[in-house]
Amino acid sequence: MPPKRTRTQGTTGETSRTESMTQGSENPNLTAEQIAELVATTVAQVLASRQESQPPSDQQSEEIRKLHEELEILRKERSSAPPPPSAREVPFSAEVLTAELPPTLQVSQCRRV
C-alpha cells in the first residue's frame, strides 16, 4: 500500500518528511513513552519558533500579566490558609454538642434488637 500523502510532491520528485514518517517502518521499536517524549519535544520547538516569529499583541501580553498576578495571589492565599481538616475530622460547634435531643433520639429510649 503506498504511503499516505500529506503534502503534494514537489517538481523535483521530493516527498515531505511527514510522508515518509507515516509509513511507520523507520523505527518500529519506540515505546509509548519515547513517542510521547518526541511529540512533546517537537511541540515545544514549534511553539518556541512561533513565539519568536510572532510576539504576542499588547492585549495578549496584558492578559498574560493579569493571569500571572492572579496566580501569584492564589498561591499566597493557599500557602497562608490553614490546612484543610482530615477526611475523618468533622468540625462541630459548641451548639451542636450541647443541643437537646428529641425524646425519640435519646439513648435511653433505644433498645437492642
Same domain, 21 and 37: no
pLDDT digits (tens, 9 = 90+) for 69-109: 998 888 888 788 776 666 666 666 666 666 677 766 666 65
pLDDT digits (tens, 9 = 90+) for 5-58: 555 554 445 444 554 455 555 667 888 888 888 899 998 888 888 766 666 678
Same domain, 73 and 38: yes
What is the chain's mean pLDDT, rounded? 70
Domain count of the fold of the chain: 2
- Tell me if 103 is assigned to some domain: no
What is the model's pLDDT at position 97?
61
Helices vs. strands in the chain: H and E counts, helices first: 4, 0
What is the model's pLDDT at position 95?
66
Supply the range of the domain harboring residue 21. 1-29
Query: What's the rounded Cα separation, in Å, for the pair 19 and 7?
Result: 7
Q: How many of the other CB atoms lie within 10 Å of CB of 52? A: 8
Same domain, 37 and 58: yes
User: pTM for this one?
Assistant: 0.27
How deeply is 16 buried, as exposed, middle or buried, from its count of CB atoms within 10 A (0-12, 13-18, 19+)? middle
Same domain, 72 and 41: yes
